Amino acid sequence: MKSKLTILVVDDNKNYTKRIASLLTDTNTVSNVDLAHNYDEATVLLDREPDLVLLDINMPGQNGIDLLRQIKGSGNTCDVIMMTNHIGDHYREECKKLGASFFLDKTNDFELLPEILGTLSN
């Protein structure tokens, strides 16, 4: 990983993406944050080869698990952090099996991101 990360945030909640982008840009480990609000927008922005994707499960159309499967199936080596309110063991196990680096509760684990970013950037 590089010392400054490029990040793609994928979530259909625009208020959440703005909040997380603000948190991320306030750290010294991030060089760029792109925002996508659905699968199709995300697939276009993945061409920029981000170092990290923050990915929600629940989105209209194809969901975050579909996108995780596509990212990892394409050979992309970026880290993926699932940030979701769907925190059941079934989702956690499936996302880990598909290659997610972390699986976080969107509501309660939000503040863990700066520490995780610090770890990933080193």
Q: What is the pLDDT of residues 27-61, one digit of tens each?
A: 888 999 999 999 999 999 999 999 999 999 998 88
How far, in Å, CA of 38 to CA of 23, rounded? 21
Range of the domain at 97: 5-121
* Nearest one of 1, 19, 116 to 9, comparing CA atoms: 19
Number of domains observed in the structure of the chain: 1
One pLDDT digit (tens) per residue for the chain, 122 residues: 457 899 999 999 999 899 889 888 888 889 999 999 999 999 999 999 999 999 999 988 899 999 999 999 998 889 999 998 888 899 999 999 999 999 999 888 878 888 888 888 77
Is the distance from CB of 105 to CB of 89 less than 8 angstroms?
no
Taking the model in full, what pTM does it have?
0.92
CATH number at residue 89: 3.40.50.2300
